Chain A
Amino acid sequence: MTDLVQLASSGLALGAIYALIALGFVAIYRASKVFNFAHGDLLAFGAFAMVAASGIGLPWPLALLAAMLATGLLAMGVERVILRPLVGRPVFVTVILTIFVGYLIRTAILLIWGSNPRGMPTPWEPTATVEILGAKVLLGSLAALAGAALALIAYFLLMRFAKLGLAMRAASADQESALALGIPVGRTLGLTWLIAGMLAALAGTFLGMFPRQVEVNLAFVALAAFPAVLVGGLESALGAVVAGLLLGLLQVLAQAYVNPLLGHFGHNFHMVFPYIVMIIFLIFRPYGLFGEAEVKRV
Chain B
Amino acid sequence: MPNRPLAADYRDARRLWAGRWERRGLILAIVAAIVFPMVAGHNALTIANLTLIAIVGASALMILTGFTGQISLGHAAFLALGAYTAAVGGQAGLPFWLLIPAGGLVAAAVGLAVGPFALRLEGLYLAIVTIGLIFLVNHVLLSFPDITGGVGGIGVPMHLGFAETEGSVLTPFSETWQLGGIAIGFEQKLYALYALIALATVLGLRNLALSDTGRAMMAVRDHDLAAAVMGVNPARTKITAFGVSSFVAGVAGAMFAYQQQYLTVEPPFNLLLSVQYIAMIILGGIGTVFGAIAGPVAFVVLTPLMEALGRQLPLISELSSSQQSTLLFSLLVIVFLIFEPLGLYGVWLRIKRYFLAWPFSY
Interface residues of A, Cβ cutoff 8 Å to B = 35, 82, 85-86, 89, 91-93, 95-97, 99-101, 103-104, 107, 110-111, 223, 226-227, 229-230, 234, 264-265, 267-269, 271-272, 275-276, 278-279, 282-283, 286, 296, 298
Contacts and interface: CB of A to CB of B under 8 A. Distances in A.
B327 A104 contact: yes
Given A86-B338, A103-B326, A264-B143, A230 B128 contact: yes
Contacts of A276: 132, 136
A82 B132 CA distance: 27
B143 A95 contact: no
A52 B330 CA distance: 26
Nearest to A105: B330
Interface in B99-151: 117, 120-121, 123-125, 127-129, 131-132, 135-136, 139, 142-145
B232 to A, nearest CB: 10
B282 to A, nearest CB: 6
21 contacts: A89-B341, A91-B123, A96-B333, A97-B333, A101-B330, A101-B334, A103-B330, A104-B327, A104-B330, A110-B323, A111-B316, A226-B131, A272-B132, A278-B132, A279-B129, A279-B132, A282-B117, A282-B125, A286-B120, A286-B125, A296-B225
B225 A298 contact: yes
Nearest to A226: B128
Interface residues of B, number: 46
A120 to B, nearest CB: 24
Q: Name the 10 nearest CB pairs between A and B, nearest first.
A: A275-B132, A100-B330, A103-B330, A92-B71, A107-B327, A265-B143, A286-B120, A272-B139, A272-B135, A35-B124
Given A264-B143, A264-B145, A279-B117, 7 more contacts: A86-B338, A93-B337, A95-B124, A96-B337, A111-B318, A267-B143, A296-B225
Contacts of B127: 35, 92, 95
B331 interface: yes
B337 to A, nearest CB: 5
A97 to B, nearest CB: 5
A100 B333 contact: yes
A271 B140 CA distance: 12
A272 B117 CA distance: 18
B234 interface: yes
B190 interface: no
B65 interface: yes
Contacts of A86: 337-338
B135 A275 contact: yes
A96 B279 CA distance: 8
Question: Main SS of the interface on chain B?
Answer: helix
Nearest to B123: A91
B252 interface: no
Contacts of B329: 100
B345 to A, nearest CB: 15
A91 B136 contact: no
Contacts of B235: 298
B271 interface: yes
Contact of A268 (B124, B131, B132, B139): B139
Nearest to A112: B315
Interface in B321-355: 323, 326-327, 329-331, 333-334, 337-338, 341
A271 B134 CA distance: 12
B321 to A, nearest CB: 13
Contact of A99 (B120, B132, B143, B275): B275
A272 B266 CA distance: 15
A92 B65 CA distance: 10
A206 to B, nearest CB: 24
Interface string B203-238: 000000000000000000000110010000011000
A117 B236 CA distance: 50
Nearest to B331: A104
A46 to B, nearest CB: 20
B278 interface: yes
Given A271-B139, A283-B120, A286-B121, A97 B334 contact: yes
